[in-house]
Amino acid sequence: MADRPDLRRVDHTAVESSRTLYDAVGGMPFFEALGERFYDAVASDPVLLPLYPDRMELGPARRRFTLYLAEYCGGPTDYSAERGHPRLRQRHLAFEIGPAERDRWLACMREALDATGVPPQVRVPLETYFDSAAEAMRNRD
């Protein structure tokens, strides 16, 4: 995955003097807000919600997503400490993810990013990663 951005390291000229994307967005509060907004959208999305085994309780998925993304962006390693290696593709193989699911996931994520007001120099690397990750999770046409 040579084109996958390394979100743990950011261009210091693009994101002031922060050393990681995690630092640039202000740490865990940003990732918690992003996860909240994203999963609020998932809760009412007719394409995405059926992918969640326990549709009534999205809290655990919300927490895992928040911890994963914070760690991936250079934050605390709580996700790995609790769950081991992310193995994202393997963990998502049980769910039928096609173009419609990928596109809805990206739309919900972009809405969540909009709601956070994240600046463009941070949003661009996040969206680049999300685009790549969403396509990598697709397991059907």
Query: What mean pLDDT, rounded, does the chain reach?
Result: 86
Q: Is 112 among the domain residues? A: yes
Buried b (16+ CB within 10 A) or exposed e, 68-102: bbbbbbbbeeebeeeeeeeeeeeebeeeebeeebb
Residue 1: DSSP 8-state: -
Q: Is 12 among the domain residues? A: no
Q: Is 64 among the domain residues? A: yes
Predicted pLDDT at 14: 47
Predicted pLDDT at 26: 92
The answer to whether the beta carbons of residues 86 and 68 sit under 8 Å apart is yes
Q: Is 6 among the domain residues? A: no
Looking at the 3D structure of the chain, how many domains does it have? 1
More confident residue, 108 or 18: 108
More confident residue, 10 or 66: 66
Q: Is 10 among the domain residues? A: no
Q: Is 40 exposed, middle or buried (0-12, 13-18, 19+ CB in 10 A)?
A: middle
| Cα three-residue angle 121-127-131, rounded to 5 degrees | 155
Supply the CATH number for residue 40's domain.
Answer: 1.10.490.10
CA separation (Å) from 77 to 10, 20, 53, 112?
A: 18, 14, 26, 23
Over 70: is that where the pLDDT of 4 sits?
A: no
Q: Is 8 among the domain residues? A: no
Q: Name the residue among 71, 58, 61 with its Cα closest to residue 28.
A: 71
pLDDT in tens, 56-105: 689 899 999 999 999 999 999 999 999 888 787 788 878 889 999 999 99
Over 60: is that where the pLDDT of 55 sits?
A: yes
Q: Is 11 among the domain residues? A: no
Domain ranges, residue 124: 21-137
Q: Is 42 among the domain residues? A: yes
Tell which phi-psi region holds residue 26, choosing left (phi > 0), alpha (psi between -120 and 50) or beta: left
CA dihedral over 5, 8, 85, 114, signed as positive or negative = negative
Over 70: is that where the pLDDT of 6 sits?
A: no
Give the predicted TM-score (pTM) of the model. 0.83
